[in-house]
Amino acid sequence: MSETTVQHRSPDRHSEQAHAPGRAPGPFTHTAVMAARALRISSRNIDALITSLALPIMMMLIFVYFFGGAIDTGTDYDSYVMYVVPGVLLLSAGFGAATTATAVSEDMKGGIIDRFRSLDVGGTPVLAGHVAASTVRNLCSTALVFGVALLIGFRPAASWSGWLVVGAVLVAYIVALSWISAAIGLLARTPEAASGFTFFMSFLPYPSSAFVPTENMPDWLHGFAGHQPITPAIESLRGLLLGQDAGSTPWVALAWAAGMLALAAGASGTLFRIRTR
Spell out the SS3 assignment of 24-72: CCCHHHHHHHHHHHHHHHHHHCHHHHHHHHHHHHHHHHHHHHHHCCCCC
pTM: predicted TM-score of the whole model, two decimal places: 0.83
Mean pLDDT value across residues 149-159? 90
**pLDDT-derived band of residue 26, with 50, 70 and 90 as boundaries?**
confident
- pLDDT computed for residue 92 by the predictor: 84
Neighbours of 231 (CB within 10 A): 25
Angle, CA 248 vertex, CA 63 and CA 140 arms, to 5°: 45
CB 181, CB 262: distance < 8 Å: no
**pLDDT-derived band of residue 23, with 50, 70 and 90 as boundaries?**
low
Q: Where are the domains of the chain?
A: 27-275
Q: How many residues does the chain have?
A: 277
pLDDT above 70 as % of the chain:
87
8-state DSSP, 7: P
Judged against a pLDDT cut of 90, whether residue 39 lies above it is answered with no
Coil, helix or strand at residue 235: helix
Judged against a pLDDT cut of 90, whether residue 263 lies above it is answered with yes
Closest CA to 60 of 151, 136, 175, 138: 151
Indicate the Cα dihedral angle 42, 48, 54, 60, nearest 10°.
Answer: -110
- pLDDT computed for residue 96 by the predictor: 79
Closest CA to 35 of 166, 169, 146, 178: 178
pLDDT in tens, 63-115: 888 877 667 665 544 578 888 898 888 888 888 788 888 888 888 887 787 78
- pLDDT computed for residue 98 by the predictor: 81
According to DSSP H, which parts of the chain are helical?
Answer: 13-19, 27-44, 46-62, 80-110, 112-118, 123-151, 160-187, 191-203, 219-227, 230-241, 249-275
| More confident: 117 or 142 | 142
Judged against a pLDDT cut of 80, whether residue 22 lies above it is answered with no
- pLDDT computed for residue 73 by the predictor: 65
Mean pLDDT value across residues 145-168? 91
